[in-house]
Amino acid sequence: MKEDGTLCKAVFQMTDNSWVAGAVHWLANAPLRILIILVVAFVIRFMARRTIDRLAKGASNGKTPRLLRPLKERAPQAVGALVSERRQQRAQTIGSVMKSLVSFLVYGLAFILILGEIGIDLGPIIASAGIVGVAIGFGAQNLVKDFLSGVFMMLEDQYGVGDIVDVGPATGTIESVGLRVTTLRDVNGTVWYVRNGEILRVGNSSQGFAVAVVDIPLAYSADIESATEVIRRIMTDEVAVAPVSEDVLEPPELLGVDKVTPESITVRLTVKVRAGRQWAVQRALRARIIPALEEAGIEPPLGRLYGQQK
pTM recorded for the entire structure: 0.58
CATH number for the domain that contains residue 241:
3.30.70.100
Range of the domain at 225: 209-296
The answer to whether position 217 is within a domain reads yes
Low-confidence ranges of the chain (pLDDT < 50): 1-4, 76, 78-80, 304-310
The answer to whether position 75 is within a domain reads no
Q: How many domains does the chain have?
A: 1
Residue 268, pLDDT score: 92
Residue 310, pLDDT score: 40
The answer to whether position 272 is within a domain reads yes
Residue 270, pLDDT score: 92
Q: Please spell the DSSP secondary structure of 14-83, one letter per residue.
A: HH--HHHHHHHHHHHHHHHHHHHHHHHHHHHHHHHHHHHHHHH--GGGTSPPTTTTTS--S-TT--THHH
Residue 135, pLDDT score: 66
Residue 78, pLDDT score: 46
The answer to whether position 268 is within a domain reads yes
